[in-house]
Structure 1
């Protein structure tokens, strides 16, 4: 099977490329920085920019399945850009006769009051659904792994602030998932015909809160942590607070923190685990592994900085 990964240099995309290659698929890795990336032997790099139509000639040629992992949080007017990019990709995939597309989206919690970040994810789902291919959507909350912007916020906070005045959203329920498990779902669903045209939630076993994730991460690093939640910190103030406490780019941190005001847990009716069972990683194990890999990479316990690469 010939498979295209759009967003192949993101932290999910990189692992997905390797997993598909191990499965025996012919893999095309699409990214703005594909020519600068050392992919495993056998991967076909395709460097292009969805903002530059001239760079996309032949993008989906002979492709059976395409994974769409493109998000533009690092750029101004990200929602408009994501809408335009998704429409362009949809038209290219439709014109090339791609059989199915898989999109990694986000769990939203309250569908009636979405943050700009999650509203954009929903809009991309709708844009892609207009293609002639079968679309499968996977919605995830925090993906735990090296280079995850959401987890880097948690990691940075537990390094820098032994005593924190925090917004009340730290008590919001969430359901993180290890990046390895996201990749397993993305790959394994190809073998389950029932997943065509469907939307699913994915998450690790059990629900957490952002407060409990902060405490767990601090404990695993041997750090002392005292938190004092206050009700007066709005999403706007929270995003400025994060600007002072994390290395994550402000343009990324702000939309992410605006998404933290609503519960983001798996809906049992949409749980992909019922259709595609995966041996899921417990959250403590996922965080411990991520911290260990960060240390091995020479980042002093912190996740490597996001450079000019795809954020997903």
Structure 2
């Protein structure tokens, strides 16, 4: 249970996870300030919530946002903050180090960080940076809980958007062999619940916990399961030699994903992203995870409302072509 009047700074408040988490924290009884570069714009969109200024490249701005806070939730991503594709790793580490220093100075007692799953093989640049950010935040005196999640299912998730668009728009799927690698996708509702619980987790030091979803699925199984929810049965052609970088080009062509972002996300799928145990959920046995199909159905319905009439019509035609024959 949250401590009465606990003051929480929510960074990345207008992003995918932050926008889902903000109302969850408020309903739980926390005094939440959503940190964003443009608080005036955020207030116009969501006048019922409190927002404050935060510029992660400015240590003074970080210190001002953390002043008087008891806890902070760190949802900052360097890929979005850095203007150069080449230097976001360095930018992420600078931001994390500055944030930690300001949190120590402000007397913050808990940082909760949402990171990425440590892969079985060599991590991609994207995952390497996320893991390093967690190490930086856990290196100080503030008790820091790092939760490591894979693909998050929900409206606004970039990785989910790629899966959704591929499943809905390809009557024939050319699948590289590396799509056999497995992961444990998780619903945004479960991620929000874990982040909330971690704020008041009874722990004096710092720790890392995997945040697995309820099922372990290959990337191919994920695509097929999502397609099945709309009664689509695409023809699947498996090819042995298609690199992640080449795949990013056709993903950018078929989906709404940016090519650079697609390349980073696809590179992370080249090895298994599977937790060794139930991770954080062992500390919350009362929490019931959202089944994969339920989470995917909710996300499909939410995403469909945002598509243009032309996009919906095009997908409808493709879906009719890809439906299984009744004969």
Normalised to the residue count of structure 1, the TM-score between the two structures is 0.90
Q: CA deviation at 1:73?
A: 2.7
Q: Is the 8 A contact 1:155 1:217 kept in 2?
A: yes
Per-residue displacement from partner, 1:98-143 (whole Å, max 9, x unpaired)? Answer: 1110100011222x61111110011101111122200100000100
Q: Which residue of the other structure, out of 10, 30, 35, is the alignment partner of 1:30?
A: 35
Cα distance between partner residues in 1 of 2:39 and 2:185:
29
Cα distance between partner residues in 1 of 2:304 and 2:237:
29
Q: Is the 8 A contact 1:73 1:251 kept in 2?
A: no
Per-residue displacement from partner, 1:46-68 (whole Å, max 9, x unpaired)? Answer: 12221234544511011111000
Q: Is the 8 A contact 1:66 1:102 kept in 2?
A: yes
Q: CA deviation at 1:83?
A: 1.2
Q: Secondary structure at the match of 1:241?
A: helix
Cα distance between partner residues in 1 of 2:204 and 2:109:
13
The 3 A distance-change label for structure 1 pair 215 and 78 is same
Kindly indicate whether residue 202 of structure 2 is the aligned counterpart of residue 197 of structure 1: no
Q: Is the 8 A contact 1:65 1:99 kept in 2?
A: yes
Task: Give unmatched runs, 5+ long, in structure 1.
Answer: 303-312
RMSD: 1.9
What is the number of residues matched between the two proteins?
Answer: 299
Q: How does 1:1-312 map to 2 (within 5 A)?
A: 1-37=6-42, 38-39=45-46, 41=48, 43-74=49-80, 75=82, 76=85, 77-110=87-120, 113-194=122-203, 196-268=205-277, 271-277=279-285, 278-298=287-307
Q: CA deviation at 1:13?
A: 0.6
Cα distance between partner residues in 1 of 2:88 and 2:25:
29
Cα distance between partner residues in 2 of 1:222 and 1:52:
50
Task: Give unmatched runs, 5+ long, in structure 2.
Answer: 1-5, 313-327
Q: Secondary structure at the match of 1:21?
A: helix
Q: Is the 8 A contact 1:108 1:263 kept in 2?
A: no
Q: Is the 8 A contact 1:170 1:229 kept in 2?
A: no
Per-residue displacement from partner, 1:243-300 (whole Å, max 9, x unpaired)? Answer: 22221112211111000011112221x6111112321000000000111112234556
Normalised to the residue count of structure 2, the TM-score between the two structures is 0.86
Cα distance between partner residues in 1 of 2:196 and 2:189:
11
1:310 corresponds to: none
Cα distance between partner residues in 1 of 2:38 and 2:244:
33
Q: Could you say which structure has the greater relative contact order, defined with CA pairs below 8 angstroms and 6 or more residues apart?
A: 1
Cα distance between partner residues in 2 of 1:90 and 1:299:
42
Q: CA deviation at 1:183?
A: 0.5
Q: Secondary structure at the match of 2:241?
A: coil
Structure number with bigger Rg: 2
